[in-house]
Amino acid sequence: MALQECWGLYEKQYEGSPLRVRLNEGIKDYVCHPRYMHQVCIAVPLNDVDESGFPFPEECKLLDELEMLLKEKLEQQQMSVFAAVVTSDGFRVFILYTYLPDFCLKTINDLNKDWIYHSVTSTTQEDRNWETIESLIENT
């Protein structure tokens, strides 16, 4: 399987708040693949938001840089697949699937020590059926 990124952007309302979802539509061959049964969520509280809870352009550049660093460290040798990016209520959340959840958490923790612009937190859980992504797809 060759990983190809093709991102779709969706806007919707969730519990009365605007929500932006970027789904990696190029990973159809990976969805529910038994190798990628662990979900990793990387939450980033935004520093300055507009009235809708979204970042201003300057912060978007920093978030894009952070995303590229995360991909560089976590997608090597297809150990992880970035599935979605969700922005709402002053947060950006990166959602990926992996077969090495402990390595991902350690890598994110190490990156957080050097990343001075935001305080990054991460969690992992088993999600064999990619229920979070299925929910995002159904509601977009």
Q: How many CA atoms lie within 13 A of 97 on its CB side?
A: 24
Read off the pLDDT of residues 23-52 as tens digits, 9 standing for 90 and up: 998 888 888 899 999 999 999 999 999 999
* Amino acid type, 41: C
φ/ψ of 91, rounded to 5, equals -135, 150
Any alpha helices (H) in 30-124, and if so which ranges?
57-74, 101-114
Is 11-138 a domain of CATH 3.30.2010? no
Read off the pLDDT of residues 61-82 as tens digits, 9 standing for 90 and up: 999 999 999 999 999 888 999 9
- Least Cα distance to 120 among 56, 81, 61, 67 occurs for 67
**52, 101 in Cβ contact below 8 A?**
no
Model pTM score: 0.93
What are the extents of the domains in the chain? 11-138
Read off the pLDDT of residues 88-137 as tens digits, 9 standing for 90 and up: 999 999 999 999 999 999 999 999 999 999 999 999 999 999 999 888 87
